Amino acid sequence: MARSNEAEAFFYAVYSAVQEIPYGKVTSYGHIAKLVGFPERPRQVGVCLKHLPIDPQARHNNYNVPWQRVINSKGVVSPRSQPSGSQIQATALRAEGISVQTGALGELTVDLAEYGWFPRVLPSAVDEDDDMSEQ
């Protein structure tokens, strides 16, 4: 089964990375992509998560994967196809104590400064370099 060994590895890597997200924290698709070693493929991360809770035995599904903790880089829950889906995700996030604000257009925004989880991947890129613009 599976498509290719490469694709399967990517799926599993993504699921593992998502499982690393602490409870009550969120991260972005792009960061997950970086963690698995493919910073240029954030969209495929979404493809992987889309497969998750739908079919229990369709593909490498894993109910232990907290897909809800993955949002886009703007700190907004991805609207996805149906508006209800984002609401479900927002509800799940609130259940973890994450504050999700609803915009006028139904945009579900999360404060990345508070709930964002972005561990640095690079081994030794910057050490004593003080970042002054952080917020």
Partner DNA sequence: ATATTGACCTTTT
Partner DNA sequence: AAAAAGGCCAATA
Give, as one character, the DSSP assignment of residue 125: S
**For DNA, the closer CB: 74 or 94:** 74
Q: Does 62 bind DNA (CB under 7 A)?
A: no
Of 15, 25, 67, 112, the residue at the interface with DNA (CB under 7 A) is 67
Which of 64, 69, 63, 73 is CA-nearest to residue 100?
69
The three-class DSSP label of residue 41 is coil
Instruction: Decide if residue 42 touches DNA (CB under 7 A).
Output: yes
Interface with DNA, residue 121, by CB under 7 A: no
Task: Return the axis-axis angle of helices 42-50 and 5-19, rounded to nearest 10°.
Answer: 80
Least separation, in Å, of the C-beta of 64 and DNA?
14
Buried b (16+ CB within 10 A) or exposed e, 45-80: bbebbeebeeeeeeeebbeebbbbbbbeeebbbbee
- C-alpha 97/C-alpha 105 separation (Å) is 23
Stretch that binds DNA, among 25-33, 100-108, 109-117, 119-127 (CB under 7 A): 25-33
Among 21, 35, 46, 115, interactor with DNA by CB under 7 A: 46
In the complex, least distance from residue 71 CB atom to DNA, rounded to whole angstroms: 7
Can you give the binding site for DNA, defined by CB under 7 A? 3-4, 6-7, 28-30, 33, 39-47, 49-53, 59, 67-68, 70, 72-74, 78-81, 89
